[in-house]
Structure 1
Amino acid sequence: MASNTEQLRRTLQEAVVKCSERCLYQSAKWAAELSNSLPETPSTSTSFNSDPDSQMQDADLPPSVSTFLSSNPDPEEARLEAQELSKYLLAKSYFDCREYDRCAAVFLPSILARGPLTPTSPNAKTRTPTKAGKGKAKESSPNSENGATPLSNALPRLSQKSLFLAMYAKYMAGEKRKDEENEMILGPADGGGTVNRELVGLARSLEGWFADRAAKGLEGSNQGWLEYLYAIVLAKGKTDEDAKRWLIRSVHRCPFNWGAWLELSGLLSRFEDLQKIVRELPQNIMTVIFHLYASQELYQYTETTHHQLNELERFFPESQFLKTQRALLFYHSKDYDEAESIFSTLLHADPHRIDGLDEYSNVLYVMAARPKLAFLAQVATATDKFRPETCCVVGNYYSLKSEHEKAVMYFRRALTLDRNFLSAWTLMGHEYVEMKNTHAAIESYRRAVDVNRKDYRAWYGLGQAYEVLEMHLYALFYYQRAASLRPSEPSMWQGVAKCYDMVDRPVQSIKAYKRSLVAETYYNQGSSFGSSATNGGASQGVLSPQTLHAIALLYEKMGQLDEAASYMEMTMAQEGPGEDDDDEVRGPGTGVTNATSQARMWLARWEFARGDLARAMELANELCNDSVEVEEAKALIRDLRARMETGRSPS
């Protein structure tokens, strides 16, 4: 076990160096934190002692620390890297200073190839040329066959490390210009259509480079970093399937690049997609971590997921990343107390850690824990007030205080810092709903699903917004998308059911309401980590009386009165035991609600119409005690007494 731990530590340390060399700082930070969360072994505790006078030899240091730069086992790549060392250090210094164009210009010509973004598959060696524009040189070759032109590699001969750095700098330069060209968040000219203009040139150049390597039989010595960059370019061009294939190739060659796994997770829209793609991934611990993370992102808060997390924590007992995943699993399962406890522990252990604080603030917002949310906002602001996560924390604080204008201001600030920050788009949409600005809410939610199509909250928000506008078919579509992402969330199915009812499709509406009841049962009687949720007044072991009453009314609408009466009885039964039902063993119930009183009134009239005057009188008297439908109940009692006195049956 100790030797495996040390091997994993060295691998992660090497990943930190390699990611840092390529300026993938977030991936380097993730690998460094994971490496530091490994338990100490005798070798690590004795190799680095605290005696300042001890003579430590280079041989005592791990391989990733004993050299300034990582070594390359490929002799040709090592030779190129040695030749380019001075230029590489210059380019990296430019990148670190955010001078991306200067960084790229150290190695690449000023103008990359231009053309349409038509990506090839990983095994493609040729591509069909596009029609040349007027005045432009045609893409043809005397050696082309059947209209296919071999891809040309116009890039200079460079090591893969230097080429990646230069092309990544080109990509970052395009992203920087895209941000500069963007209008004010949700401003008059902000349509979200600004694109990175470097994508076309990068795609064409990388296609040529890969084709050239394939033609020379050098694919086996590809390191995986350029595959990762190409996949990012393809994903930006909305060619998700091609991007997935290249990311799979990348993680096979450099599995400890966490950025590649994040990109791959972002391309999965359903849990079935994850199950399908796992079979194509390398069989190592990174695939296990990826499966856990992607499952959490897809809201798979099952016992299997928790067991998987337990197994990973045996290897990384102090990993803040894994603890955050556990907190999010509890959050998704609506066990807010447990999620808050884990987040609070993380905050005390590392008060300067901003990652995940926006999710922590969501938990505190749902719990209405205003003092804790205020403290969290102070801590985050003192650490870094210009992080999107900090802005979301402060925005949630103002939202909880019902200061929605200030909340929107902070969510806008978060998006100014990072337009792809999903939480801010969704939360800003919620604020616009509170402010009755439906059109701004719709645009915010649309931008959220553009960033991440797995965000059920944004889909549900779109459904609500269109329902307010009485555009029920649109609302139905968005509610269905939300329900497909969170099938165990009752409110998703209730939204679907209401829209089906509004478009006069009662059968589908009843089915959706019943799915909502199943979802409530899942939460109320569910796993050991999700039993605190309530919906519509329902508590553990009790179904929502509102939902049951809605089903009953739909059956009445369809003329199925016996079914309607059955569901009205079920609605009343959710109240729980009455004053004289001490001997009956039942759940606590919801008590008297509008839905149960309306059901009791309906049943009283139903029994009256059927001639069961005694049962109708019993129900009417109960209504008088409920003090909800009192006047109607008194009128019904007077009519019942009159019928009983005359002995006449109702007509």
Structure 2
Amino acid sequence: MALNDRETTQLRAALQETVVKCSERCLYQSAKWAAELLISLPMPDEQSEPEDSQMTEVPSDGPPPIVVTGNSDPEEAQLEAREINQYLLAKSFFDCREFDRCAAVFLPDTLLAGVLSTSKTSNGGIRSNGKGKEPLSERRIKPAVPKLSQKSLFLALYAKFMSGEKKKDEESEMVMGPHDGATILNKQLNTISRFLEGWFLKKTSAMAGEVVGSQGWLEFLYGMVLAKDKNEEDALKWLIRSVHLYPMNWGCWLEITALVSRVEDLNRIARHLPQNILSFIFHIHTSVELYQSTPSLFSSLDQLLGIFPTSPFLLTCRSMLLYHQKDFQGAEVEFGQLLAQNPHRLDSLDHYSNVLYVMNLRPKLSFLAHLCSVIDKFRPESCVVIGNYYSLLSQHEKAVQYFRRALTLDRTCLSAWTLMGHEYVELKNTHAAIESYRRAVDVNRRDYRAWYGLGQTYEVLEMHTYALWYFKRAAGLRPWDHKMWMAVGQCLQKMGRDLEGIKALKKALVVDSYDDAGAGSSFGSGRESGGLMDPEILLQIAAMYERLGDAAEAKSYMEICVAQEEGTGDSMEGSVINIHADSGSEDRSRPVGAGGANNGTGVTAATSKARMWLARHAMSTHDYPRAMQLATELCQDGVEVEEAKALVRDVRVRMEIREESRR
């Protein structure tokens, strides 16, 4: 993807306008995102003439004008000009976080009280699946909608929304306290929904059935309100309408991402979205959120980086792709370069701290925690980084303290909920761990780490039916992670469902070999290895075959397990990352030192147990030379030495008895 000079100029002008438009409506995160993208566009040569701008130019005489964007709709432009003084007052109130005062400038309480007293026919918003609901065209809203510009109306209703969110957090009190939960709702959602419903009804054309003259901002707000009210299908429809009307609003794209739970959902809605550079960025971002890391995704991201070479957002996406691929060393390098280029940027540093935690890079994590504390110690990302540092020091109480502080600042901080669950597991507080994981899932249903953590916690409580359900959810979100399938298989094994457990563990072998040997390596049933296989999984498969009475299959898998000590002859680099560790997720895998030979796994507890089983099986089939060979190897392993010595003595006695019987 490459843009010519004209397209680059148009994109720069559109981003400039977006920054101002989002700032005018107090959508500060969207404005910041657009500004970062704007500054990452390479600047034209100084000799070129200045570009046309849609911003108001400063005249040569008189005071400079107020910098606001124009409006192509004459009626809206006239309303905005008439409301300019009130708008500036309302925006100043919003900037000072006086949300109710901001809303009251345009929508006084008397008017909102009239909205609340409307008939029940307008209750609940615009829903296509509600029973007993009248169509929007047949409803009647009693209070007259005031004649306001869309910009002023959006600011007032958005201020009302933020007021409700603020009061909801205040009523929730302490994190995970008695009042903190799903019962505390934003009480302004119903008012905003009814008001917007009346506005859309007034603007909807009877002939075309479309909202005439809308600019997309109120559709965005209405979709956000419906999403908060758990009406996701209708929310998605209104958000898609919004990006068609104004595609540069990144906040709207993020709301759509939050409603996409699976890759199938993303592919389903993709054909309904506008085709432009924002939808391209949205597709990449959502794919990263869905843990996709395909070569085509890397290629698409590289194309975007060709247009925005220094974009922190796109560089973060690249780091996260490597992180999801378990290329922690590559992710650490990418995050390090991003931090060097933007030393005061705290966004996504919580993910960087997870990478440093897994790699056991304590000095770097200490530096990162100190840097975050200096820049802004009361940012949720800073608290998560510091909590990760204390967790690496095994100071779990302090880690929980900082994760709770992050949630006090932002109750939707996903990393804090999930990581706090891990810490409660370490502290053996299973009830608090389950509640933390559940809250993480409420914030983001795509977080496989929280589903996996719930499965592990219920497994500790020996509630295997619940654990199995959660492990399957995690495996559905992360199908190419062998740990997910291994957890499913082990849970089925404990439930006595050996046939299903064998299938799940074979899937884990396939996935593990795929990760180690590349996409070209596939061994179908798990019997032929294109690379090393996990001896522990092979041992468990063999044990389940033994319980099923299939001695031949059990022996076959025991032999494959022992063969992993020698490997296939392929060189494998040592690593300080143990991605097979039994932990809450790869984010929290306890780091271990490099070990084992370059070829194969070397002697492990699993291979020693398999060798012991084979030795005893050889004894039972009177294959004494084979039994002696295996028992002698066991004596050298240093794992099952005493049992091996006893087995050697037993084999010698039987061999002597056989020799005497032949004489």
Q: TM-score, normalised by structure 1?
A: 0.89
1:54 match: none
C-alpha separation in 2, matches of 1:385 and 1:178: 24
Secondary structure of the equivalent of 2:204?
helix
Assess if the C-alpha contact under 8 Å between 1:592 and 1:626 holds in 2. yes
Deviation of 1:200 (Å): 0.7
Q: Structure 2 counterpart of 1:104, which letter?
A: A
Aligned partners of 2:630, 2:55: CA distance in 1, in Å? 79
Distance 1:145 1:201, change over 3 A: closer
Q: CA deviation at 1:189?
A: 3.6
Structure 1 equivalent of residue 637 of structure 2: 626
Q: Deviations over 1:192-216 (max 9, x none)?
A: 4211000011111112211221146
Using the TM superposition, give the Cα deviation of residue 155 of structure 1 relative to its aligned residue in structure 2, in angstroms. Answer: 2.3
Residue-by-residue CA offset, 1:457-476 (whole Å, 9 max, x unaligned)? 00001001101111000111
C-alpha deviation, 1:40, in angstroms? 1.5
Aligned partner of 2:296 in structure 1 is 304
Q: 1:434 aligns with which of 406, 419, 426?
A: 426
Structure 1 counterpart of 2:54, one-letter code: P
Distance 2:271 2:406 in 1: 37
From 174, 178, 181, the counterpart of 1:188: 178
For residue 510 of structure 1, the aligned residue among 478, 488, 502 is: 502
| 1:7 to 2:18 alignment | no
Q: Which amino acid aligns with 1:470?
A: E
**Contact 1:127 / 1:148 at 8 angstroms: preserved in 2?**
no
Letter aligned with residue 563 of structure 1: E
Show the counterpart of 2:572: none
Is 2:350–2:384's contact at 8 Å kept on the other side of the alignment? yes
Q: Does 1:474 align with 2:473?
A: no
Distance 2:370 2:359 in 1: 18
**1:64 corresponds to which of 37, 40, 55:** 55
2:149 maps to what in 1?
159
Q: Do the aligned partners of residues 540 and 325 (structure 1) sit closer, same or farther apart at CA in structure 2, a change above 3 Å counting?
A: farther
Partner SS state of residue 599, structure 1: helix
Deviation at 1:598, TM superposition (A): 0.5
Cα deviation 1:501-535 (Å, max 9, x = unaligned): 1111111111111111112112212379xxxxxxx
Secondary structure at the aligned position of 2:343 is classed as: coil
What's the TM-score once normalised by structure 2's chain length? 0.88
Aligned residue in 2 for 1:209: 199
Offset at residue 68 of structure 1 (A)? 1.2
Partner of 2:399: 407
Where structure 2 has 5 or more consecutive residues not aligned to the other structure, the ranges are: 58-65, 521-528, 570-596
Deviations 1:575-613 (A, max 9, x none): 01699xxxxxx9710000010000011011111111211
Which moved further from structure 2: 188-197 or 614-623? Answer: 188-197
> Are 1:568 and 2:558 counterparts?
yes
The CA distance in 2 between the partners of 1:146 and 1:209, in whole Å, is 11
Check conservation: 2:486, 2:504, Cα contact below 8 A. yes
Counterpart position of 2:85: 86
| Corresponding position of 1:119 | 125
Tell me which moved more, 632-641 or 286-295: 632-641
Indicate the larger mover: 606-615 or 262-271: 606-615
Q: Say if 1:540 and 1:119 are closer, same or farther in 2 by CA, change over 3 A.
A: farther
Q: 1:36-70 CA deviation, whole Å, 9 max, x = no partner?
A: 1001123x66457xxxxxxxxxxx66223637111
Letter in 1 for 2:75: E
Residue 302 of structure 1 aligns with an amino acid whose one-letter code is T
Deviation at 1:386, TM superposition (A): 0.7
- What is the CA–CA distance in structure 2 between the aligned matches of 1:556 and 1:596, rounded to whole Å? 16
SS in 1 for 2:146: coil
Q: How does 1:293-442 map to 2 (within 5 A)?
A: 293-442=285-434
Cα 1:317–1:117 shift into 2, 3 Å: farther
1:462 aligns with 2:462: no
Cα–Cα, structure 1 residues 145 and 75, in superposed 2: closer, same or farther, change >3 Å?
closer
For the 8 Å contact 1:129–1:149, the answer to whether it is kept is no
Asked if the contact 2:19–2:32 (Cα under 8 Å) also holds between the matched residues in 1, the reply is yes
Letter in 2 for 1:177: K
Identity %: 57
Match in the other structure for 1:616: 627
Structure 2 residue aligned with 1:200? 190
Long gaps (5+) in structure 1: 49-59, 131-143, 529-538, 580-585
Equivalent position of 2:577 in the other structure: none
**Matching residue within 494, 499, 505 for 2:491:** 499
CA contact (8 A) 1:127 1:149 kept: no
8 Å CA contact 2:171, 2:179 repeated in 1: no
Task: Provide the rounded CA distance (Å) in 2 between the counterparts of 1:478 and 1:459.
Answer: 5
User: Contact 2:126–2:136 at 8 Å: present in 1 too?
Assistant: no
Q: State the SS of the aligned residue for 1:219.
A: coil
Distance 1:497 1:169 in 2: 50
Residue 647 to residue 295, structure 1, CA distance change in 2 (3 Å): same
Q: Distance in 1 between matches of 2:143 and 2:279?
A: 33
Q: Tell me how far apart the structure 2 counterparts of residues 339 and 189 of structure 1 sit (CA, whole Å).
A: 39
Is the 2:168–2:184 contact (alpha carbons within 8 Å) kept by the matching residues of 1? yes
Shift in Å at residue 368 of structure 1?
Answer: 0.8
CA contact (8 A) 2:137 2:201 kept: no
Equivalent position of 2:75 in the other structure: 76
